[in-house]
Structure 1
Amino acid sequence: MPMSPSPRLALITLTGASLALLAGCGTSSSDSGNDGSTAQAATSASKVKVVASTNVYGDITEQIGGDKVNVTSIISNPDQDPHSFEANTQNQLALSKAKVVIENGGGYDDFIDRMLKSSNNSSVELINAVQVSGKTAPEGGELNEHVWYDFPAVSKIVDRIAAALGKADPSDAATFSRNAGTFKDKLAGLEAKEADIKKAHSGDGIGITEPVPLYLTEASGLVNKTPDAFSEAIEEGDDVSPKVLQETLKLYSAKQVKALVYNAQTSGPQTEKVKDAAKAGDIPVVPVTETLPKGKDYLGWMTANVDALAAALGK
């Protein structure tokens, strides 16, 4: 999750020849004589083609668009570190055909912008989640680009997605708007859960390994005690100095925090030491991820995260 203009998500160089070859391989035979396949293809072609940089935005779009959308999520493996993701020719092809593209922005998935420039898709509707959220870097600080952990921001993004789908498919615009309203009602329920945590635990300290969950924890009234030098180094893939590591570990041995909210998707030796210190101090560990776990939709995933946080603090 880069905080600087330099990309952390690598992009494989694409050639015109490889893209053309892929497009050719994707063309179905015209002499199959299978009326069912033809009808199915026609139905698929009538759907709004959407590409999302991650399955977080892909799932949200599916909840709003239902069977009227065909969504491709580029980063979707819950076991993969998004930092090391490599885009490919299939991603490029999907972007070239999309009517709507959803990126996180904020330096998280810059490969989308670069691929779109070479896709020759001038009519695409591009949604930048960070821009829609209105989040900016604090004075003297860096932007926390993980806006999908901020429920008011997600509510704005939902409206923007519904509007883009309605523009691409005006006949179903009312359906998209209605589905967006239902989704936002459920987001309001998550905000109410955060308010309950805040009422019971406002000012309580927590530790993190990366800034991924901070919008959620801050909305819940919790105070991050982890040294910035630790979480920033982990996020950038740098080594943490021995002094900073010891300062971080002391949070758990001295029981200065009530929980560790741990990014399970980017673990390493130093974050494992922190997790071990929390367990040794009998401090609950709440794992979070950057993409949807298998078998979860966005709302179910976030409900589980909020409930796990509440349960950990209740100990």
Structure 2
Amino acid sequence: MSRSPLRPATLVAGLAALSLGLSACGSGQVDTPTSPDTPQVRIVTSTDAWGAVAKAVGGNYAQVDPIIDSANQDPHGYEATPGDAATVGDAQLIVTNGGGYDAFMTGLVDASGNRAPVVDAVAVSGLEGAAEAAEAGGHDHAHGAHAGESPEEHAAHAGEGEEAGHEGHDHGAFNEHVWYSLPTVQKVAQQIADRLAEIDPSAAEYFRSNAQTVGGGVAQLTSKATEIGRAHPGARVAVTEPVPDHLLETAGVQNATPQEFSSAVEEGTDPPAAVVAQMLDLFRAQPPVDALIVNTQTESASTDQVRAAAEQAGVPVVEMSETMPDGVDDYVQWMNTNLDALNAALAR
């Protein structure tokens, strides 16, 4: 489908080599033998995406429990349970996305009274607008506000943080899907290693070595994304929801989607008819956009209509998700698969 000139053979070969290298290395951990008696730091993450990063860093010395670990769960509308409250209450380290994305975690942390350190990915990202988004997302945790309550009472209070997060959350101002921001993932991995080193100083070198391994894998992903952009200059795509925007920016691939469309889908509302028409025009134009990226976890009548228009126009459809696909537990390999799918679509 791509209408750019023929790609240099060196770029194609480079992408193939990067793909092989990434498949071989994954996120990786330092190989340190352990026994059943090896103490493990209890880490709780909001989603399995951050859980995969935490596990890659913590390795054999960490037990990682993501609250959301299924592709059938939508973090935007997730309702915390008493079991979630108990899990968060036992954590020694908590990893959240922040920015209002996983606002249920704010309520769980505040309600549990757990004073464990919190790594907030949005807050540490350094992205433009991140500081404001982190504050608006309600991540100034008031530890101890509900100390002494039962898990059931904790879960009841957890909704308070979720409501606050949604009220202060402006999707148009900041894209909170920062696990698709490769530089952010590197920073979060390092932050996790630093916090784990404070909790278990005896394994500090192990944690930091693992974080470096994660960083190496992410650096290869960055190189691969850049090569995709170079191989497909001027490529334009449409997205049903702004999940992959940070990755597209790294690749230098233009997102031609009307912002009002993707924002409405993200908020669970119907885009105005005029905006839907603008979106459909992207596939009727000559030439149309090079690909459509669909978030499989926020499908609706509007996104189905857009997907049908893309397929009718012969525009390749790429599926990307907010949480990790079932059966996948390695962050680097997950993103590598996403990049392979994007590259294949742009090459058609």
User: TM-score, normalised on structure 2?
Assistant: 0.76
Q: Distance in 2 between matches of 1:256 and 1:221?
A: 18
- Tell me the equivalent position of 1:204: 235
Alignment size in residue pairs: 273
CA contact (8 A) 1:201 1:221 kept: no
Q: Distance in 1 between matches of 2:284 and 2:345?
A: 17
Partner-residue secondary structure (3-state), 1:206: strand
Q: What amino acid maps onto 1:196 in structure 2?
A: E
CA contact (8 A) 1:202 1:220 kept: no
1:311 pairs with 2:344: yes
- Of 103, 107, 112, which aligns to 1:114? 107
- Of 129, 136, 141, which aligns to 1:137? 129
Partner-residue secondary structure (3-state), 1:87: coil
Q: Distance in 1 between matches of 2:336 and 2:101?
A: 24
CA contact (8 A) 2:76 2:102 kept: no
Q: Distance in 2 between matches of 1:47 and 1:219?
A: 35
- Tell me the equivalent position of 1:151: 182
Q: Distance in 1 between matches of 2:41 and 2:215?
A: 22
- Of 283, 305, 312, which aligns to 1:280? 312
Q: Distance in 2 between matches of 1:152 and 1:79?
A: 27
1:97 pairs with 2:130: no
C-alpha displacement of 1:84: 2.5
Q: What amino acid maps onto 2:129 in structure 1?
A: A
Q: Distance in 1 between matches of 2:111 and 2:245?
A: 35
Q: Distance in 2 between matches of 1:147 and 1:84?
A: 18
Q: Distance in 1 between matches of 2:179 and 2:234?
A: 23
User: TM-score, normalised on structure 1?
Assistant: 0.83
Q: Distance in 2 between matches of 1:220 and 1:300?
A: 17
Q: Distance in 2 between matches of 1:188 and 1:120?
A: 37
- Of 241, 245, 250, which aligns to 2:272? 241
Partner-residue secondary structure (3-state), 1:86: coil
Q: Distance in 1 between matches of 2:110 and 2:246?
A: 32
Question: Once superposed, which parts of structure 1, at least 4 consecutive aligned residues long, lie more than 6 Å away?
Answer: none
C-alpha displacement of 1:83: 2.3
Q: Distance in 2 between matches of 1:155 and 1:116?
A: 24
Tell me, which stretches of 5 or more residues in structure 2 are unaligned?
Answer: 1-34, 133-169
Q: Distance in 2 between matches of 1:149 and 1:77?
A: 18
Q: Distance in 2 between matches of 1:240 and 1:268?
A: 11
Deviations 1:161-188 (A, max 9, x none): 1111111111001001111111111111
Partner-residue secondary structure (3-state), 2:112: coil
Partner-residue secondary structure (3-state), 1:180: helix
Q: Distance in 2 between matches of 1:209 and 1:120?
A: 38
